[in-house]
Structure formats: C-alpha cells, structure tokens
C-alpha cells in the first residue's frame, strides 16, 4: 500500500507519508502488522510524556517546548491524546488550539489520537503510533496525555521521561502524588507559577520528593509567558540516562499493553452492550456470572 513503507523519513516533504502510515496503524488497515514488524530505529529518539490534570496548561507548555526545540533545528512530533467518551466513543477535545502556530512549521508534526476507552489516557495504539514516529527519525517525540488521576501512571510504560504538570491550586493532586504518581514522575512542573501560593506549593512538592529519597526536580514555569522553559529543556536533554535505566520496565509495560490489545481484539464492545441489555431484562442478573459465561456459545 502506498505510504505504508516500513521505513519512514521525517523530512517535511514526507510528513504526508508519516500521516498515512499512522492512519494505517491506528485503524488496523491492510499492511499494519507488516509495517510494525519491519520498523527500523536508526535514531535514539527520546519520548517525553507530559501529563497532569486538565487545566494545568499542558498544551501551552508543549507549545513553548516546540518553539524552543525547533529553534535549534530539531524536528519534533507531538501525539496529543484526547479523552474518549464512553457514551459516543468519540474524541472530545480535537486538535489543540494553542499548537495552531506550529501546524505548518516544517519541523513539527502534530497528531491527535483518541484514547479509545483506555482510562489512563493511553492505549496500545499509542505505543504503536509512537514507534512509527520513532522510526521516522524525529529528534523528539512529545506525548501529551489528558491526565485522569492515578491512572496517569500508565504513561510510565511509554515515555523515557515523564513530566507531571501541576498548578499551585493543586491540593488534590498532592494526594494523587502520594498514591503513586511519584513513582513515575521524572520531574514536576509547577505551571502558572505567578499565581498565589506557587512557591509554597513547589516547596511542598520538593519536600515530598526529598522524603521519598527520589532525584526528581521541581520546576516552576509560566508557560503562557514562556518563562522557566529553559530549565525544562535542559532537563529533557538528559533523557538518555533515564532511558537506559528504565529500558526493561518500559519494554515490559509496552509488551503488556500490546498483548492485552491482541487478546481483547475479538471483543465487540457494541455487541457486549447489547448482551448486557438482554441479560438485564432477565431476573437475577449477576455481573460476575455474566462475565464468566460471556460470550455465549
């Protein structure tokens, strides 16, 4: 199939072929399996995960990172992960408006991807599409996730470095961090640091990190004013050491997601819903009995 070559280049003239290959993989079109099995990785491209609660300014931060990275001649790919509605199975957010200035930049490739029901904002398709981009030879790949509480930790299975973006009012997020987010954060970014309480919030984060004995920096940024970004960029440049230390963890998590997808491939969610509707109409419905017996032969 044209445009589904197993080796894709990241030249601006070939962005259309990159987009076609991503479409083939995302939708399991003919040639998708062969494309993935024949991907070649000629470059050690760092994958940067950017996660955090809605409203933290992740898209604005990504916009600033794009501006700085492309200024040095780097080619950057962005996967913006949108939440999927459990009711209409559609993407709710669409393309990020704040990235609009970079849509036509010759060094920037932006793709929006629905989560397809994955609660952590990631799916096996995210992994596959990220590997297509890695094969394309980009200098950096940024993955922006929606961030939905503790399930944000799923990004640990994908990113070489994970930036957790919070805001000074994020008292609730502190509890989330204590519940497990600390284990996957390579750095915290306190965005909108011009707001009241930013210094206290950042200091509390730093104390928490020190108590855990972790080497996790805390950065303060004002992404809307492009402030504090240089420190984040400098940290990202150290990605290779993180990447090597976590290689087995990353690959195991990726394999888990891919195997999970393969095993679940034959389950039709719409058919499952219909079966539930039929079972509910009968007396004595029990969800666990239903699951054990489904699908009915």
Residue 2 lies in a domain: no
Residue 77 lies in a domain: yes
What domain range includes position 289?
266-293
Residue 99 lies in a domain: yes
221 close to 193: Cβ distance less than 8 angstroms? yes
In a shared domain, residues 53 and 194: yes
Q: Is the pLDDT of residue 92 over 70?
A: no
Which of 207, 144, 199 is closest to 177 using CA atoms? 207
Residue 70 lies in a domain: yes
Rounded to the nearest angstrom, the gap between the alpha carbon of residue 32 and the centroid of all alpha carbons in its chain is 21
In a shared domain, residues 241 and 152: yes
Mean pLDDT of the chain: 79
Q: What is the phi/psi pair of residue 124, to 5°?
A: -60, -35
Q: How long a stretch of residues is the chain?
A: 297
Q: Is the pLDDT of residue 51 over 90?
A: no
The CATH number for 229's domain is: 3.40.50.300
In a shared domain, residues 190 and 231: yes
The encoded tokens of residue 274 equal 């219909």
196-200 — which CB contacts under 8 Å span 24+ positions?
Answer: 196/168, 197/168, 197/169, 198/168, 200/168
Q: Is the pLDDT of residue 46 over 50?
A: yes
Q: What is the pLDDT confidence band of residue 267, given thresholds at 50, 70 and 90?
A: confident
pLDDT of residue 88: 43
Residue 15 lies in a domain: no
Global pTM reads: 0.80
Q: What is the phi/psi pair of residue 277, to 5°?
A: -60, -40
In a shared domain, residues 210 and 270: no
Q: Tens of pLDDT along 198-236?
A: 999 899 888 888 887 778 899 999 999 999 999 999 999
pLDDT of residue 264: 83
In a shared domain, residues 93 and 219: yes
**CB-based burial of residue 282 (10 Å sphere; 0-12 exposed, 13-18 middle, 19+ buried)?**
exposed
Q: What is the pLDDT confidence band of residue 12, given thresholds at 50, 70 and 90?
A: very low
**CB-based burial of residue 258 (10 Å sphere; 0-12 exposed, 13-18 middle, 19+ buried)?**
middle
In a shared domain, residues 234 and 278: no
Higher pLDDT: 82 or 91? It is: 82
pLDDT of residue 6: 47
Residue 51 lies in a domain: yes
Residue 22 lies in a domain: no
Q: Tens of pLDDT along 103-152?
A: 778 899 999 887 655 544 456 788 889 999 999 999 999 998 865 544 45
Residue 258 lies in a domain: no
In a shared domain, residues 164 and 282: no
As a whole number of angstroms, the distance between CA 32 and CA 289 comes to: 36
In a shared domain, residues 54 and 158: yes
Q: What is the pLDDT confidence band of residue 193, given thresholds at 50, 70 and 90?
A: very high
Residue with tokens 């922006």: 144
In a shared domain, residues 158 and 204: yes
In a shared domain, residues 93 and 131: yes
Higher pLDDT: 48 or 159? It is: 48
Domain count, the chain: 2
In a shared domain, residues 188 and 71: yes
Q: Tens of pLDDT along 55-79?
A: 888 989 999 999 999 999 999 999 9
Q: Is the pLDDT of residue 177 over 80?
A: no
In a shared domain, residues 220 and 107: yes
As a whole number of angstroms, the distance between CA 169 and CA 188 comes to: 14
């Amino acid at each position: 199939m044209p445009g589904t070559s197993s080796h894709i280049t990241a030249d601006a003239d070939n962005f259309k072929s990159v987009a076609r290959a991503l479409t083939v993989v995302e939708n399991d079109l003919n040639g998708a399996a062969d494309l993935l099995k024949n991907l070649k990785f000629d470059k050690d491209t760092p994958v940067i995960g950017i996660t955090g609660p809605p409203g933290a300014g992740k898209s604005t931060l990504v916009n600033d990172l794009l501006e700085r990275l492309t200024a040095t001649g780097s080619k950057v790919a962005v996967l913006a992960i949108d939440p999927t509605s459990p009711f209409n199975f559609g993407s709710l957010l669409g393309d990020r408006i704040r990235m609009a200035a970079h849509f036509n930049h010759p060094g920037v490739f932006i793709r929006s991807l629905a989560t397809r029901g994955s609660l952590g904002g990631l799916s096996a398709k995210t992994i596959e599409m990220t590997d297509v981009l890695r094969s394309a030879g980009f200098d950096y790949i940024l993955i922006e996730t929606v961030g939905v509480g503790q399930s944000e930790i799923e990004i640990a299975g994908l990113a070489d470095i994970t930036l957790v973006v919070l805001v000074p009012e994020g008292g609730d997020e502190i509890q989330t961090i204590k519940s497990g987010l600390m284990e996957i954060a390579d750095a915290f970014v306190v965005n909108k640091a011009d707001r009241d309480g930013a210094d206290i919030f950042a200091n509390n984060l730093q104390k928490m990190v020190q108590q855990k004995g972790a080497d996790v920096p805390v950065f303060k940024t004002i992404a809307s004013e492009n402030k504090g970004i240089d420190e984040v960029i400098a940290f990202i440049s150290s990605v290779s050491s993180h990447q090597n230390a976590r290689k087995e963890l990353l690959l195991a998590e990726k394999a888990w997601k891919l195997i999970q997808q393969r095993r679940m491939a034959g389950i039709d969610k719409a058919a499952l819903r219909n079966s539930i509707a039929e079972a509910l109409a009968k007396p004595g419905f029990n969800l666990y009995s239903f699951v054990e017996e489904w699908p009915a032969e």
